């Protein structure tokens, strides 16, 4: 598949500049002088523009049109096989000092890095079209909403950004002409898609992102991890709000009492699935709605925490998504969606591992090679993704556009842990909750390049996404807690605990409603729990397990605390804090000591 498409000539009325902000115009001019594109295409976000670009992308083999009867208005993209996931080792935070980036980030000196990137970008868009994408992150009427511009030479990026953000005129109008308005500068070029020239660089002080050498989602849809999380978290601390790697869901009881919950799970650990949960039959009258599936921007108001989803679409994991596991996602991606790196059936449909039904006898795999089902090669890449507008989601929350956000009753941390961590438990208070987040760990997944299945500490699921010193980030969490007179309760969950046979003990997906109900009960001060050394734990009868096919022994195992495992866990917490070289706030070290005392008493 061609990564790099030749320049596009647009018909009249498409791709023309209508922007009047001189600061943006000057920056675009400067980037054009450096990258020397064949032409410049200003995106307005219109339907006509989208149709034109989709058609061009198909002509250039950047997209393959799928069977329009099976998946209407949907397309397949194949990225370069060397470029299928986020690249944490090539991701940099370029603050004036290394200390500002902190112990968990790759740091690179700003002036040197700009020089290096300018060298790589020199004439990089020769013969190509330079697209300018104006976009906003957040509902149009939110105070938290940010304006961004992404310059890119990838038509796939343009088409994806149109789904993932509110793009076009809405952004240029919001920005206006003020020379000192706050807006994010994003520059992306595919270059030659060579891992040796792949760098994702953030300059928080300049509100600037430069990404080169990749065409894969998380590296190039600069609105998402780069702006909404890395630059976002930096701005959030400075401006007194929070930018978190969290889903946001609404949960309504049969009595029509509604709560909102935000949950931070690391990449490919279940956020999209939890955000789209459909309660099992037994939970008649309960309803779960999605506000967001990946990112939450939150602010303190009247002593409570309020969240908005800055995004406009979902960039979700395809493998494992089926009518059994996630019907809302299946309905969402049944039309008007982009698929990246899945298998293509002979009749123009998409296929991937974990889809219901029998695999096709023959297909083209994610690389475009002939493929037949078997144990050897997977048809879809494990990190294959869908890009779909949130408005496709049948369970979309009605308040998703509400600028003031939705009130958060509970925050949940969770990871992929085969052992040690119980199905669910509750922190004693905010600071203990911050400790749970700061010490959480998860087995690595295919969402980033590198080894899969290794337990690593991933504080608040933000290890790859915190745009500044993690010690200051922990401090920010503690400080936010001090401003909350009505703080959300904090919980920890683990859907992935395994039995001795190596099987998941918990059925997960829709059945996670049983855990969610307990969490809501706790928020309403009626759920039962026992005090344990690690926090408030439900006993088996505190969870509603009616009509669930699970044996009592598994439930006891799921909720159990193994002192030997916790001894090791505690040692890992200490090792992790020590590895951060003294930046951890005292409050959290004290939490660790208190945990140690509780475990040994
Ligand atoms: P990112 O988009 O990378 O941030 O991922 P995410 O956190 O949104 O994860 P997602 O919901 O896409 O799930 C990732 C993988 O975990 C998929 O293959 C799911 O099928 C699987 N998964 C999600 N929820 C559960 C669960 O409750 N139990 C089990 N066993 N697997 C789950
Ligand atoms: C993640 O890895 O957490 C994702 C996918 O949500 S990406 O946008 O590629 O980062
Ligand atoms: Mn994510």
Residues 385-437: pLDDT tens digits? Answer: 999 999 999 999 999 999 999 999 999 999 999 999 999 999 999 999 999 99
Q: Largest alpha-carbon pair distance within the chain? A: 76
Give the HSE-up count for residue 578: Cα atoms under 13 Å, Cβ half-sphere: 6
Distance in Å, CA 429 to ligand 2 centroid = 30
- 327 exposure class (CB count in 10 Å sphere: 0-12, 13-18, 19+): middle
Contact predicate 304/408, CB 8 Å: yes
Confirm whether 226 is a catalytic residue.
no
The whole-number average pLDDT for the span 81-94 is 97
294 CB less than 6 Å from ligand 2?
yes
Distance in Å, CA 472 to ligand 2 centroid = 24
The whole-number average pLDDT for the span 150-162 is 98
pLDDT-based confidence at residue 377 (cuts at 50, 70, 90): confident
Chain centroid offset of residue 76 CA? 21
Tokens representing 5? Answer: 């498409």
pLDDT-based confidence at residue 3 (cuts at 50, 70, 90): low
Give the HSE-up count for residue 129: Cα atoms under 13 Å, Cβ half-sphere: 24
- 32 exposure class (CB count in 10 Å sphere: 0-12, 13-18, 19+): middle
pLDDT of 6 strictly over 80: yes
Distance in Å, CA 569 to ligand 2 centroid = 27
Contact predicate 136/146, CB 8 Å: yes
Query: 562-590: per-residue pLDDT in tens?
Result: 999 999 999 999 999 999 999 999 999 99
224 CB less than 6 Å from ligand 2?
yes
Mean pLDDT of the chain: 97
Q: Can you say whether the dihedral through the CA atoms of 376, 381, 382, 386 is positive or negative?
A: negative
The whole-number average pLDDT for the span 46-60 is 97
Q: Which of 8-17, 229-238, 267-276, 473-482 has the lowest mean pLDDT?
A: 8-17
Atom 5 of ligand 2, nearest CA residue: 218
DSSP state of 468: S
pLDDT of 383 strictly over 50: yes
pLDDT of 1 strictly over 60: no
Length of the chain (residues): 601
The whole-number average pLDDT for the span 367-374 is 94
Torsion angle, CA of 45/41/222/192, rounded to 10 degrees?
140
b/e map 176-188, b = 16+ CB within 10 Å: eeeeeeebbbbbb
Atom 10 of ligand 2, nearest CA residue: 218
Going by their DSSP bridges, the two strands 183-189 and 208-212 should be labelled as parallel
As a whole number of angstroms, the distance between CA 17 and CA 44 comes to: 9
Tokens representing 493? Answer: 């969950």
Tokens representing 365? Answer: 């795999």
As a whole number of angstroms, the distance between CA 119 and CA 125 comes to: 13
As a whole number of angstroms, the distance between CA 584 and CA 474 comes to: 7
Tokens representing 160? Answer: 């994806």
SS3 category, 209: strand
573 CB less than 6 Å from ligand 2?
no
Distance in Å, CA 267 to ligand 3 centroid = 5
Which ligand sits closest to the CA of 164? 2
pLDDT-based confidence at residue 375 (cuts at 50, 70, 90): confident
Distance in Å, CA 447 to ligand 2 centroid = 6
Q: Which residue(s) pair with 152 in the sheet?
A: 131, 188
Atom 4 of ligand 2, nearest CA residue: 267
Counting ligand 1 atoms within 8 A of each CB, the residue from 290, 293, 317, 354 with the most, and so the one to mutate, is: 317
62 CB less than 6 Å from ligand 2?
no
- Which helix (H) or strand (E) element contains residue 137? strand 129-137
86 CB less than 6 Å from ligand 2?
yes
Catalytic residue (choose from 43, 94, 201, 269): 269
Which ligand sits closest to the CA of 295? 3
Distance in Å, CA 466 to ligand 2 centroid = 14
pLDDT-based confidence at residue 376 (cuts at 50, 70, 90): confident
Determine how many CB atoms are found less than 10 A away from the CB of residue 71. Answer: 20
Ligand 1-lining residues (CB < 6 angstroms): 265, 267-273, 293-294, 316-317, 319-320, 325, 447, 495-496, 504, 508-509, 512
Contact predicate 221/340, CB 8 Å: no
Distance in Å, CA 495 to ligand 1 centroid = 10
SS3 category, 5: coil
Angle at 141 between CA 136 and CA 146, to 5 degrees: 30
Which ligand sits closest to the CA of 264? 1
Query: 301-320: per-residue pLDDT in tens?
Result: 999 999 999 999 999 999 99
Contact predicate 290/393, CB 8 Å: yes
Query: 445-503: per-residue pLDDT in tens?
Result: 999 999 999 999 999 999 999 999 999 999 999 999 999 999 999 999 999 999 999 99
230 CB less than 6 Å from ligand 2?
no
Counting ligand 1 atoms within 8 A of each CB, the residue from 273, 504, 515, 550 with the most, and so the one to mutate, is: 273
């Amino acid at each position: 598949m061609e990564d790099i498409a030749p320049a596009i000539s647009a018909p009249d009325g498409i791709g023309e500049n209508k922007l009047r902000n001189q600061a943006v115009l000057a920056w675009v001019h400067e980037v054009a002088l450096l990258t020397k594109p064949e032409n410049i295409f200003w995106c307005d976000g219109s339907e006509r523009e989208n149709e034109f670009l989709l058609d061009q992308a198909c002509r250039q083999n950047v997209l393959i049109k799928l069977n329009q009867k099976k998946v209407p208005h949907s397309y397949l993209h194949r990225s370069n096989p060397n470029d299928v996931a986020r690249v944490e080792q090539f991701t940099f935070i370029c603050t004036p000092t290394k200390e500002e980036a902190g112990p968990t980030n790759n740091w690179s000196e700003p002036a040197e890095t700009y020089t290096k990137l300018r060298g790589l970008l020199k004439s990089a868009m020769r013969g190509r079209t330079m697209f300018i994408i104006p976009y906003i992150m957040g509902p149009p009427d939110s105070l938290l909403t940010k304006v961004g511009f992404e310059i890119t030479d990838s038509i796939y990026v343009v088409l994806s950004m149109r789904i993932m953000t509110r793009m076009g005129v809405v952004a240029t109008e919001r920005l206006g002409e003020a020379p000192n308005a706050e807006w994010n500068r994003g520059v992306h070029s595919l270059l030659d898609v060579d891992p040796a020239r792949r760098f994702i660089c953030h300059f928080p002080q300049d509100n600037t992102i430069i990404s080169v050498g990749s065409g894969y989602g998380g590296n190039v849809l600069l609105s998402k991890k780069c702006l909404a999380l890395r630059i976002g978290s930096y701005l959030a601390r400075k401006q007194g709000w929070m930018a978190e790697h969290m889903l946001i869901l609404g949960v309504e009881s049969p009595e029509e009492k509604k709560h909102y919950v935000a949950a931070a799970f690391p990449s490919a650990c279940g956020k999209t699935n939890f955000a789209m949960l459909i309660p099992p039959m037994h939970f008649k009258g309960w309803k779960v709605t999605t506000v967001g599936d990946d990112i939450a921007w939150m602010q303190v108001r009247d002593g409570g925490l309020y969240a908005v989803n800055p995004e406009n679409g979902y960039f979700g994991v395809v493998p494992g998504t089926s009518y059994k596991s996630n019907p809302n996602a299946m309905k969402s991606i049944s039309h008007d969606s982009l698929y990246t790196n899945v298998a293509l059936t002979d009749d123009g449909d998409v296929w991937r591992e974990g889809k219901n039904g029998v695999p096709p006898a023959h297909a083209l795999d994610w690389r475009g090679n002939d493929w037949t089902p078997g144990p050897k090669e997977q048809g879809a890449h494990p990190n294959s993704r869908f890009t779909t507008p949130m408005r496709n989601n049948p369970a979309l929350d009605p308040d998703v556009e509400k600028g003031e956000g939705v009130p958060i009753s509970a925050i949940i941390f969770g990871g992929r842990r085969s052992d040690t961590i119980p199905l669910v438990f509750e922190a004693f208070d905010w600071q203990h909750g911050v400790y749970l987040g700061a010490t959480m760990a998860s087995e690595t997944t295919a969402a980033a390049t590198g080894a899969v299945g290794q337990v690593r500490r991933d504080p608040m699921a933000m290890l790859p996404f915190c745009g500044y010193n993690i010690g200051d980030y922990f401090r920010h969490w503690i400080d936010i807690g001090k401003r909350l007179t009505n703080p959300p309760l904090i919980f920890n969950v683990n859907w992935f605990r395994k039995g001795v046979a190596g099987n998941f003990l918990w059925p997960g997906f829709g059945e996670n409603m049983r855990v969610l109900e307990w969490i809501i009960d706790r928020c309403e001060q009626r759920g039962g729990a026992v005090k344990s050394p690690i926090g408030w734990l439900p006993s088996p009868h505190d969870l509603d397990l009616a009509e669930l096919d699970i044996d009592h022994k598994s439930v006891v195992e799921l909720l159990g605390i193994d002192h030997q495992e916790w001894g090791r866990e505690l040692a890992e917490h200490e090792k992790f804090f020590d590895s951060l070289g003294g930046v951890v706030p005292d409050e959290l070290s004290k939490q660790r000591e208190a945990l140690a005392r509780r475990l040994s008493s």
